[in-house]
Amino acid sequence: MVSTGTLHGVGVGPGDPELITLKAMRLISGAPVIAYLAANGRDSTARDIARPYIAATTAHLVIDMPMRVERQPGEAAYDAGASAIAAHLDHGRDVVMLCEGDPFFYGSFMYIFARLAKRYPCRVVPGVTSMTASAAALRRPLSARNEVVKVLPATLPADRLREELQTTESAVIIKVGRHLGKIRNILGLLDLSSRAQVIIKATHEDEVVTPLLDITEDHLPYFATILVYSGTEAW
């Protein structure tokens, strides 16, 4: 009887391949099968980050992920991806699933994990998040002493986003993209615009760091983060 393989959810960090942990690098370089999402059939950012460590003999399992507002297409893609991964695990092959940033911090791996963790051995390797990478790019701490930081998806309704921003000292706003106008309006109403910094593609070669007030576009790339700092510099 063939024992099942192990599924490894591996965080590859925000973009710079040198930010991949030693453990992640070891698993990636020795993996018989690498799995990753490809948005709308395009190239995978997670694979591109890990590319220097993927062996030529490694099999690639591409999970085609349609980027839609509706949940059903994404759920179907995760179902199909989990089934394809399970087929390898059933034959005793380990599978390393690559995940941008950290697998359990808004990471796509969590949806595969939910489908397979009760049936197969699963391991999770944490990675550097875009949140901490953005703070490093700004050369400014996210928080100090007793300051509170909130992580807020820009996809939240405007009323909820405004409420959360009113009741925190510092905030990290992710999934900005087409929601930039809503964020800009809310920060303006709360007199927080001057405290907001935009980081696009943190740690990538084409990283951009700029004050929100200098942004004239109506939307930002998906890999954009806005850091809203408190008015104090406690450190």
- Would you list the domain boundaries of the chain? 7-125, 130-228
Query: In sequence order, which residues have a C-beta less than 8 Å from that of residue 164 and are 6 or more positions away?
Result: 150, 152, 156, 171
Report the percent of the chain where pLDDT is more than 70: 95
Using the predicted structure, report yes or no on whether residue 56 has a pLDDT greater than 50.
yes
Q: Is 19 left (phi over 0), alpha (psi -120 to 50) or beta?
A: alpha
Question: Any idea which of 66-75, 88-97, 107-116, 158-167 has the lowest mean pLDDT?
Answer: 66-75
What is the largest distance, in Å, between two alpha-carbon atoms of the chain?
A: 65
Query: Are the beta carbons of 17 and 50 closer than 8 angstroms?
Result: yes
What's the whole-model pTM score? 0.90
Q: What is the mean pLDDT of residues 195-215?
A: 94
Query: One fold for both 7-125 and 130-228?
Result: no
Is the per-residue pLDDT at 232 higher than 70? Answer: no
Residue 40 has pLDDT above 80, yes or no: no
Neighbours of 62 (CB within 10 A): 16
CATH of 130-228, picked from 2.60.40.10, 3.30.950.10, 3.30.1330.10, 3.40.50.300, is 3.30.950.10
**CATH C-level class of 7-125:** alpha beta
- Report the first-to-last Cα separation within the chain, whole angstroms: 59
